[in-house]
């Protein structure tokens, strides 16, 4: 157990729908990062939050949004889902805003869009 909790573990939904993925960071960590992992694209950085504020943005689609709440948990919202959104979505956390000290990853949410 890495200390980073992601729910749900698996999610199957239809095209056009909206889903919310949830992440609780490791105790004491202020930064949360979201990554998408697919077979053809590898691990793609989506977005980072630090202490409730958006810190960095990567390849996140406009149909996707995220937020970090006062208790530091984070949610990733995916809307108007397409078949190509099927992937593993990972959340990671770190104590500081800098990536130089490494991240702790959760076990991921496997999203299947049918």
Partner 1 sequence: TQLLKQSPQFLSIQEGENLTVYCNSSSVFSSLQWYRQEPGEGPVLLVTVVTGGEVKKLKRLTFQFGDARKDSSLHITAAQPGDTGLYLCAGVNNDMRFGAGTRLTVKP
- Give the Å distances, CA to CA, from 63 to 8, 26, 70: 20, 27, 24
Residues that bind partner 1 (CB under 8 A): 2, 4, 33, 35, 42-45, 48, 56, 58, 90, 92, 99-108
Q: Can the peptide bond before residue 8 be classed as cis, meaning omega within 30 degrees of 0?
A: yes
Of residues 79 and 105, the one with the C-beta less far from partner 1: 105
The helix or strand, by DSSP H or E, that contains position 16, with its residue range, turns out to be none
Pairing of strands 64-68, 53-57: unpaired
Q: Please report how close the Cβ of residue 61 comes to partner 1 at its closest, in angstroms.
A: 17
Q: How far is the CB of 49 from partner 1 (least distance, A)?
A: 12
Query: With respect to partner 1, which residue has the nearer C-beta, 92 or 113?
Result: 92
């Amino acid at each position: 157990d890495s200390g980073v909790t992601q729910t749900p573990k698996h999610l199957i939904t239809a095209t056009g729908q909206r889903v919310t993925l949830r992440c609780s960071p490791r105790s004491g960590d202020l930064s949360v990062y979201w990554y998408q992992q697919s077979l053809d694209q590898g691990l793609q950085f989506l977005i980072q939050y630090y202490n409730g504020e958006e810190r960095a943005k990567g390849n996140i689609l406009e149909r996707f949004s995220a937020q970090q709440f006062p208790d530091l948990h984070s949610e990733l919202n995916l809307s108007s889902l397409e078949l190509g959104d099927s992937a593993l979505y990972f959340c990671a956390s770190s104590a500081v805003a800098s990536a130089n000290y490494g991240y702790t990853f959760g076990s991921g949410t496997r999203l299947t869009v049918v």
